[in-house]
Amino acid sequence: MVKMKRQKYSNVRVNYDIWISDEEGNSILRDHDWLMLNHISKLGSLKAAADQMKISYRKAWGDLKHAETMLGFTLIDKQRGGEQGGKSELTAEGEKFVNSYNQLMGNFQQSVNDYIIDFKKTLKSK
């Protein structure tokens, strides 16, 4: 088997992590929390969202309660099971928060992509 020669810097990646924190830098919401809120919005269930993310229901619930306490408002409304089963949905404030964050991340990602392209061009220049 012939090994292909890699282009210089072809394996270089730029990674970053963004989260929402309070004024003292204490974490409120991280990427996995946003993903969970988006899953809740789509699936209508905290349990289903936790299952999708392969985390325990208890962890998912605890993370959301922490965020709600830090933010000072409720992100999801939960209805316990019964004949129809339980359901969870974003509150109006939770939906506004998630939609605003998703828009922020879309804009941010586009800007970061431009900087990454410039970074790689600089690396490859002579």
Residue 29, class by beta-carbon neighbours within 10 Å (0-12 exposed, 13-18 middle, 19+ buried)?
Answer: buried
- CATH number (3.40.190.10, 3.40.50.1100, 1.10.10.10, 3.40.50.10490) of 27-124 reads 1.10.10.10
Per-residue pLDDT tens over the stretch 28-65: 989 889 999 999 999 999 999 999 999 999 999 999 99
Q: How confident is the model at residue 11 (pLDDT cuts 50, 70, 90)?
A: confident
Cα–Cα dist 9/30, whole Å: 30
Q: Which residues contact 17 (CB under 8 A, 6 or more apart)?
A: 30, 31
The domain limits of the chain are 27-124
